Structure 1
Amino acid sequence: MINYLEGKLVVKDPTYVVVDINGIGYEAKISLITYSAIKNLDAGKIYTHLHIKEDAHTLYGFAEESEKRRFLDLISISGVGPSTGLMILSSLSPEELQQAILSDDVKTIQGVKGIGLKGAQRIVLELKDKMKKEGLLEKAGELIPSSHNTLRSEALSALTTLGIAKPAAEKSIDIILKQHGQQIKLEELIKLALKRA
């Protein structure tokens, strides 16, 4: 099992990172929380989970061990796969997720794309006791604002990778950029667009 990767962060995208270790590039899928933490780093440590299926071995990466634990909690639930786990962690911060679970706020979790009422109820039911035993998770770092075009293209790339149709993603992004201007952070833009899509 690959517990973590430490090396040069040669590619940093809102949905994946490539870590160069002695000339070998390891690609890991990441959440927006991890992206915001590593965006401005040249090198670092990424905590990983290797998910093995018949047709693929996929590496998932996290800037903090606490986020990795939350991801593992999510995918331990029946009906919540790794893609859904990343979608949840890209739409809700660990703090927001924890607050929603502890306050039985099924509606907030249901607001994540791909999560229905039964799935949201299952997440609350199965993780509530675990959450009560844990303290608050660390907050991810803040992003430096990007230029309008880079911000738009990075958000569009992330949304299409997360399964949003390109026309719907473009429409949502443009509406949000008109409302909030260029100072909005990338992860916030993607979160708002996910809620609109």
Structure 2
Amino acid sequence: MIDYLKGVVAEATPTYAVIECCGVGYEVNITLMDYPLISGNQECKLYVHESIREDAHVLFGFLRKRTRELFRLLIGVSGVGPNTGRLILSSLTDEQLESAIASGNDSLLKGVKGIGGKTAQRIIVDLRDKIKPESDALITSMPASESYDDSVAALVMLGFSAQQSQKVLTKVFAKDPTLNTERAIKQALTML
């Protein structure tokens, strides 16, 4: 079983990336949230979930371990396959998904293309006890790199360039490395 791939990004599209490791190129399905961070890098590390079917071995890769854990929980829900799980994680951040499940907000899940009311309710019922949204105290104790990566991804999704976002966020985290993603983004927006 593959835990992660670390190598050069040979190719990156919004749906997949080719990671070259020791001369072998691995095609890995990615989320739209991770794409902006992968496309600009020469090297990256993706935490991998391997889906083995009769006709194919398919790899799904995520920049954060927590995202991979959420993906695995999602595909454990009846009626949610790997492509649907990836679609959900392409539409919602980890924090939004966790919050929606914990609070029973099925309308947020139904906002994802292809997710109906029954599937949204099934996800909430099946995962409510398994997912606890991180409190502000836990978020501030997370490594700055995880909050930093999430903040960069959010700013890129808002239309700022990755390079510009990284530059500003580096200054923000240098002043206070314990910032959570939300506060880091708010501070960065005042500097952009």
Number of the residue aligned with 1:17: 17
Unaligned runs of 5+ in 2: 162-192
Q: Distance in 2 between matches of 1:143 and 1:10?
A: 20
Q: Distance in 2 between matches of 1:102 and 1:21?
A: 38
Number of the residue aligned with 2:152: 142
Number of the residue aligned with 1:98: 98
Count of paired positions: 151
Number of the residue aligned with 1:157: none
Q: Which has the higher contact order (CA 8 A, sep 6+)?
A: 1
Per-residue deviation, 1:2: 1.0
Query: What's the secondary structure of 2:48's corresponding residue?
Result: strand
Q: 1:37 to 1:120 in 2, by over 3 A?
A: same
Partner deviation per Cα, 1:6-59 (whole Å, 9 max, x = no partner): 110111211111111121100000001221332321102111011011111100
Per-residue deviation, 1:185: 5.6
- For residues 22-33 of structure 1, what are the structure 2 equivalents within 5 Å? 22-33=22-33
RMSD (CA atoms) = 2.5
Q: Distance in 1 between matches of 2:10 and 2:86?
A: 21
Q: 1:114 to 1:40 in 2, by over 3 A?
A: same
Number of the residue aligned with 1:174: none
TM-score (norm 1): 0.69
Letter of the aligned partner of 2:66 in structure 1?
S
Percent identity (aligned): 43
Q: Distance in 2 between matches of 1:119 and 1:144?
A: 27
Q: Distance in 2 between matches of 1:106 and 1:71?
A: 18
8 A Cα contact 2:14 2:32, kept in partner: yes
Q: 1:49 to 1:143 in 2, by over 3 A?
A: closer
Query: What's the secondary structure of 1:61's corresponding residue?
Result: strand
Number of the residue aligned with 2:5: 5
Partner deviation per Cα, 1:92-144 (whole Å, 9 max, x = no partner): 11111111111111111011111111100000111111112766695524259
Q: 1:131 to 1:82 in 2, by over 3 A?
A: same
Number of the residue aligned with 1:68: 68
Unaligned runs of 5+ in 1: 152-182, 187-197
TM-score (norm 2): 0.71
8 A Cα contact 1:46 1:61, kept in partner: yes
8 A Cα contact 2:34 2:153, kept in partner: no
1:184 to 159, 173, 178: 159
